[in-house]
Amino acid sequence: MTKRFALLSVSFVLAVACLFAAGMSLTSSAQAQSLVKPAALQPGDLIRGESYSAVYFYGTDGFRYVFPNSKIYFTWYSNFDSVKWLSDADLTTIQIGGNVTYKPGVKMIKINSDSKVYVVGAGGTLRAIPSEAVALALYGATWNKQIDDLPDGFFGNYKMGGSLEVATSFSVTGEKADAASINVDKQLKAATTVTISSSGYSPASITIPAGTAVRFVNNDSVKHSASGDDTTWGTGTLNYGGNFARYFKTAGTYAYHDAYGNFTGTIIVQ
């Protein structure tokens, strides 16, 4: 087991990245001409810009999520046929929410600087496999061909769970089935929207559960912002049509104001 868990070479990692880019470059040029607008996107769409081959997942929360490499992408999808194209300018208006993690149950993974091998559970939760016997029970005789090396830089996308002492405490089939989509696996929810007009914020006060995103949208013809009174957060300048979203993960009351006017608002996180 130790030999199989040896590190992949840097050249292999780079090759994977090149293959991912090459896969998207094979998409027909006709698709590139059929550009869609952000307003036409639906949660769960796969998107990319015109100039670069990177593919993103468009989440229910309105953020785009990055596929770090092709190995992760192909645990969720079998091809690039459904990718929608946006102009580069439109793509930049969609904030990046983070990275996509491996689909639970599909692969075992390890990182370059550690010989431990992990199963991937819901929400990117890793559980260390203590022995070859457990790996064999979970993934069969070809278990040693179902391990991907994950570059150290992406390890922070995952959460650590307890060691997997017995194979019966992890269901490969069940984990795959439960992860019906990236939205489900990440437990993404629609953002709460606060619009800005000449009359101020609407609604001016909202109450949301912890872990909810709030999206500020400027519908006025002049510049506005939403800046935390404690100076720890802010949208920056929002021109007409501009928007900015932020997750509020900790319970509390968040007062904010418009740096360009006398508007005030309150977010109560429970």
Q: Is residue 3 part of a domain?
A: no
Q: Say if residue 60 is in the same domain as residue 116.
A: no
Number of folded domains that form the chain: 3
Q: Is residue 29 part of a domain?
A: yes
Q: Is residue 127 part of a domain?
A: yes
Length, in residues, of the chain: 270
Average pLDDT, integer, range 97-125: 95
pLDDT tens string 117-142: 999 999 999 999 999 999 999 999 99
Distance, first Cα to last Cα, the chain: 47
Domain at 261, CATH number: 2.60.40.420
C-alpha span between 107 and 22 (Å, rounded): 23
Structural domain of 203: 192-269
CA distances from 194 to 42, 211, 218, 227 (A): 20, 16, 9, 13
Residue 2, pLDDT above cutoff 70: no
Q: Say if residue 130 is in the same domain as residue 83.
A: no
Among 186, 221, 251, identify where a domain stops.
186
C-alpha span between 110 and 4 (Å, rounded): 11
Q: Say if residue 180 is in the same domain as residue 201.
A: no
Residue 22, pLDDT above cutoff 80: no
Q: Say if residue 56 is in the same domain as residue 116.
A: no
Q: Is residue 2 part of a domain?
A: no
Per-residue pLDDT at 13: 40
Q: Say if residue 204 is in the same domain as residue 239.
A: yes
Token couple for 9: 């070479």
Confidence grade of residue 5 (pLDDT, cut at 50, 70, 90): very low
Q: Say if residue 56 is in the same domain as residue 121.
A: no
Q: Which of 19, 45, 7, 177 is nearest to 106 (CA)?
A: 177
Q: Is residue 1 part of a domain?
A: no
Per-residue pLDDT at 8: 35
178 sits in which H/E element: helix 172-178
C-alpha span between 39 and 234 (Å, rounded): 24
pTM higher than 0.75: yes
